[in-house]
Structure 1
Amino acid sequence: MLRAALAAIVLLLAQTAQAATCREETYEGVDYAICEVDLTQDVLRLFLYEPVNGRPYGYFGKLNSTLEEQGFALGFATNAGMYHDDRAPVGLYIEDGKTAQKLITRKGPGNFGLLPNGVLCLRPRRADVIETLRYVEEAPECISASQSGPMLVIDGELHPRFLRNSASKYVRNGVGTSDDGQMATFVISNNPVTFHAFGSVFRDHLGIRNALYFDGNVSRMRAPDLGRSDIGFGALGPIIGVVEGQTPPPPQVDAVPNADDKE
């Protein structure tokens, strides 16, 4: 019995060690906060509207208070895509199976319309950044999803419109995912940075082949590991965060073809 109990404690500690972790690093003279979320251990969710009154959460603190009423807590969190003045998402937004905004595939003004843009797709125990037209082709069954743009890295290549010597520098944040979908890496620059430099952090420093831009000056992060919970100016739109106290759901299983089916 004692041996079994000790084994269970060791397993629990091992799982805790693999939970969402945040750190600060400097790359090519720019400081970044980097948070890694292991989807096999952590529950990563999208949030926009409060369930009671239908108003946007807007702030990490308000979202955390709601989760605490449910017996959970908000761990790491960041803004998760562009939004209009009323906090409604600009592009595709799905939360817990409910679609609040449809996918947009056309070119348009601003960073969102700088094609190719993409979608962060959340499924049980996995997260994937998918370029928008590929998303249309593959039609993944996302439990939650947020569309933003531009893509930072597409199949290992930086967005073709990024200029190394661009004069446009802002605080920026975004997300990249591992090829197997088990790890989501969120990055926010602590200093103003170009798109080219920001995309290079994902591709060249972190070795991530697909990454998506979330936003610029409004970018904020909650990182308990770093003692950080940005307040900023004004309310946010979509928020993505780790829900502490929830257990990851079973992985999604593809349908098994009938043995009698022919190719």
Structure 2
Amino acid sequence: MAILWAVSPGSAYSASLADGCTDETFSDASYRVCRFDPSQQTIRIYDRAPGGEAFGGFYPLITQLWAERHTLLFATNGGMYEPDLSPVGLFVSYGIVRKPARTEDGWGNFFLKPNGVFYVKGGEAGVLETQSYLTKSIEPDFATQSGPMLVIDGMIHPKFLADSDSLKIRNGVGVDRNKQVVFVMSNQPVRFYDMAAFFRDSLDTPNALFLDGTISSLAEPTEGRIDHAHPLGPIIAVIGTVPH
């Protein structure tokens, strides 16, 4: 652990993992990989400020957290969203279901079934296929639904093609066998299959969920990186507390 001190709301003002994010290579593709232990660090999912307006990006969230005496240690886009930046599917905030899970068929990546849910409950986190999540009747503190699943119980999504010509910057989330949450964003355009294989074969995550493609964004304030090229809906954040 390293203590990172700062005097601005854009920097960590409390303990953070010194090696939380690293660049890793798999099958000739480079990925930014960020690992966090939910039993030791606070992971939350946001979409709206207290006044009801969408955050829309990392900077407004940083400002709000600072007002609450928290700092942003890490963040990434947290699932697909509607034109008004509201979540497309399930969204749970502080134990309240703000939007129910969607199980109907539809068009687009979200509905490339099976899709899934990333959730946080107490000091644990998980990724589950949507129907499995609903069957288990989990009552999480925070949750967001996205799609498609990348890895389902150790198997790559059956609709992914190893020779697909769809190459994009992509990001996703999984939970490894050590119960660490693993966020991944490709540093170059990759296929769905490529990212799924990375999660399964290198990161050892039995379940992993796609978060988005074109709008994939990261915030690593202590590294001087805060992406802001695209508006964002839900945001998954790792936060610290400002000492009194």
TM-score scaled by structure 2? 0.90
> What does residue range 47-126 of structure 1 map to in structure 2 within 5 Å?
47-51=46-50, 53-126=51-124
Secondary structure of the structure 2 residue equivalent to 1:112 = helix
Count of aligned residue pairs for this structure pair: 234
Question: Which residue among 214, 219, 233 is the counterpart of 2:216?
Answer: 219
Q: Specify whether residues 26 and 128 from structure 1 end up closer, same or farther in structure 2 by C-alpha distance, changes over 3 A only.
A: same
CA contact (8 A) 2:16 2:73 kept: no
Q: Does 2:211 match 1:191? A: no
The offset of 1:47, in angstroms, is: 0.5
1:42 matched residue in structure 2: 41
Quote the Cα distance in structure 2 between the aligned partners of 1:82 and 1:20.
28
Based on CA coordinates, which of the two structures has the bigger radius of gyration? Answer: 1
* Alpha-carbon distance in 1 for matches of 2:30, 2:82: 29
Partner residue, 2:138: 140
Tell whether the 8 Å contact from 1:76 to 1:224 is kept in structure 2 after alignment. yes
Tell me, yes or no, if the aligned pair for 1:166 and 1:194 is still in contact at 8 Å: yes
Conservation of the 8 A alpha-carbon contact between 1:18 and 1:38 = no
Task: Give CA-to-partner distance per residue, 1:107-128, whole Å, 9 cap, x none.
Answer: 2110110111100111011110
Residue number in structure 2 paired with 1:22: 21
Q: SS of 1:88's equivalent?
A: coil
Asked if the contact 1:82–1:148 (Cα under 8 Å) also holds between the matched residues in 2, the reply is yes
> What 5-or-longer segments of structure 1 have no aligned partner?
1-9, 248-263
Rounded to whole Å, the distance in 2 between the matches of 1:246 and 1:103 is: 34
Q: 1:63 to 1:193 in 2, by over 3 A?
A: same
Q: How far apart are the structure 2 equivalents of 1:17 and 1:45?
A: 16
In 1, distance between residues paired with 2:112 and 2:164? 15
**Residue number among 225, 228, 235 corresponding to 2:225 in the alignment:** 228
Question: What CA distance in whole angstroms lies between the structure 1 residues aligned with 2:241 and 2:102?
Answer: 34
Q: CA deviation at 1:178?
A: 2.6
Q: Which runs of 5+ in 2 are unaligned?
A: 5-13
Q: Residue type of the partner of 2:94?
A: D
Cα offset, 1:16, TM superposition? 4.8
- Point out the more displaced range, 102-111 or 220-229: 220-229
Which of 209, 224, 240 is the aligned partner of 2:236? 240
After TM superposition, the structure 1 = structure 2 runs for residues 173-192 of structure 1, keeping only pairs within 5 Å, are: 173-179=171-177, 182-192=179-189
Match of 1:153 in 2: 151
Please give the TM-score of this superposition, normalised by the length of structure 1: 0.84
Equivalent position amino acid for 1:211 in 2: A
- The amino acid across from 1:221 in the alignment is L
Residue in structure 2 matched with residue 252 of structure 1 by the alignment: none
**Which aligned pairs between 1:243-262 and structure 2 lie closer than 5 A?**
243-245=239-241
Change (3 A) 1:225 1:205: farther
Instruction: Return the offset for 1:227.
Output: 3.0
SS at match of 1:57: coil
Contact preservation (8 Å) 2:169, 2:189:
yes
Identical pairs, percent: 41
Q: Which amino acid aligns with 2:86?
A: A
